[in-house]
Amino acid sequence: QATPGPRHLLSIGDLTPNEFTTLVRNAAARKQVVKEGQPPVWLTTGLSNKTVAMMFSKRSTRTRVSTEAAVTLLGGHPMFLGRDDIQLGVSLLNPVNESLYDTSVVISSMTSCMVARVGPHSDVANLAEHSTVPVINALSDDFHPLQIIADFLTIHETFPSSSGPGLGLNGLKVAWIGDSNNVLFDLATACVKMGVDISVASPKGYGIPDPMRHVITSAANGVDSPGKLSETTVPEEAIRDADILVTDTWISMGQEDEKRKRLDAFAGYQITNELAKRGGAKEGWKFMHCLPRHPEEVADEVFYSPRSLVFPEAENRLWAAVAALEGFVVNKGNI
């Protein structure tokens, strides 16, 4: 009988609500114990003698630094492989064009995990299909699971759970104002699973594509009181009664050629204090952004204000990476 393959983390959809909750709670617990200066030996040796390959075909600050730092904390060796470092790829700079299949088989034969940042989601899915070790998606055109574990850690810290299942966040409302992109798709999936309502405002033509809406709403299957997804083209409508306003760049990596068109299409979507007031956000509303930030999607008055959670949110990427590596590599997917 063939042994089952390793478990991968390609999107938040791969996690049950309980598993997602455990990863967020573990991230919080590891953060506390490391900050107190007494990390237990089982934590700091979890990856000892193990190498984690980090295959990044796009730029990164947070994902790279948090993953390298997390592997180091767990006692392992992070091996960063940029797009021009290995034979994988089809770019003009890299005419060797080794296939994803060959790359996956070879790298997984020598390492304990592949963390991959790619363009098309099928690239990371293909790596996973042929890998003998866990693959963790470090951002694809469709999903960004590590970001969303960090985001829910940030929400959990800011809105401490009262009671109830999961993280006790039922009834909270998130408003996403901007492009319907990879970060939104996993955020919305997590919101549905965690009982957090999410309202999305994107300009016409930049809303959630039908197949992705199906992925997000299917996250409600088997959940007692799932969060509700609503969509509009009017930012004020999405903002009404929101606890958290969230956005991301209007021009994701790979969309640089569309910059002019996108800046025009998103005019009026910048998050400002005035927009939040006009829309009727809750009095104590908070602001989140995965970063990197560009000035057009959020005004400085919000981004650098006490409402802004962006820097704790960025730091939480480290604790999310620790929890994910522990869950998928050290504990082999038994979360």
Q: Which is nearer to ligand CP, 171 or 312 (CB)?
A: 312
Measured between alpha carbons, how far is residue 82 from residues 94, 116, 128, 196, 278 in Å?
12, 10, 18, 36, 45
Measured between alpha carbons, how far is residue 114 from residues 6, 223, 229 in Å?
11, 31, 32
Q: Which is nearer to ligand CP, 50 or 62 (CB)?
A: 62
Q: Which of 196, 290, 298, 325 binds ligand CP (CB under 6 A)?
A: 290
Q: Which is nearer to ligand CP, 129 or 315 (CB)?
A: 315
Beta bridge partners of 286: 244
Q: What angle do CA 55, 252, 70 make, to 5 degrees?
A: 40
- Please state whether beta strands 77-82 and 51-56 pair in parallel, antiparallel, or not at all (unpaired): parallel
Tokens 């620790």 map to which residue? 322
In whole angstroms, give the CA distance from residue 335 to residue 324: 9
Determine, following the binding rule CB under 6 A, whether residue 249 of this chain makes contact with ligand CP.
no
| Shortest Å distance, C-beta 61 to ligand CP | 3
Binding mask 143-182 for ligand CP (x = CB under 6 A): ----x-----------------------------------
Q: Which is nearer to ligand NVA, 170 or 249 (CB)?
A: 249
CB 262 within 8 A of CB 255: yes
Determine, following the binding rule CB under 6 A, whether residue 292 of this chain makes contact with ligand CP.
yes
Please tell me which residue in 53, 116, 290, 310 is annotated as part of the active site: 290
In whole angstroms, give the CA distance from residue 76 to residue 238: 44
Of these partners, ligand NVA, ligand CP, none, which one is at the site of residue 61 (CB under 5 to 8 Å by kind)?
Answer: ligand CP
Interface residues toward ligand NVA, by CB under 6 A: 139, 181-183, 248-249, 252-253, 290
Q: Which of 61, 87, 91, 305 binds ligand CP (CB under 6 A)?
A: 61
Of these partners, ligand CP, ligand NVA, none, which one is at the site of residue 247 (CB under 5 to 8 Å by kind)?
Answer: none
Q: Which is nearer to ligand NVA, 132 or 252 (CB)?
A: 252
Q: Which of 21, 26, 57, 63 binds ligand CP (CB under 6 A)?
A: 63
| Shortest Å distance, C-beta 84 to ligand NVA | 19
3-state secondary structure 165-228: CCCCCCCCEEEEECCCCHHHHHHHHHHHHHCCEEEEECCCCCCCCHHHHHHHHHCCCCCCCCCC
Question: Structure tokens of 327?
Answer: 């869950």
Q: Pick the piece of the chain touching ligand CP (CB under 6 A) from 44-52, 57-65, 233-241, 300-308.
A: 57-65
Q: Pick the piece of the chain touching ligand CP (CB under 6 A) from 15-23, 172-180, 264-272, 285-293.
A: 285-293
Q: Which is nearer to ligand NVA, 103 or 249 (CB)?
A: 249
| Shortest Å distance, C-beta 48 to ligand NVA | 30
The candidate with the shortest Cα–Cα distance to 133, out of 210, 213, 60, 50, is 50
Tokens 């965690």 map to which residue? 194
The interface with ligand CP within residues 109-128 (CB under 6 A) comprises none
In whole angstroms, give the CA distance from residue 332 to residue 319: 18
The candidate with the shortest Cα–Cα distance to 190, out of 309, 66, 16, 9, is 16
| Shortest Å distance, C-beta 163 to ligand NVA | 34
Burial 6-18 (b: 16+ CB within 10 A, else e): bbbbbbbbbbebe
- Annotated active-site residue 191? The verdict is no
Question: Which residues are tagged catalytic?
Answer: 290
**Residues contributing to the site for ligand CP (CB under 6 A):** 60-63, 139, 147, 290-292
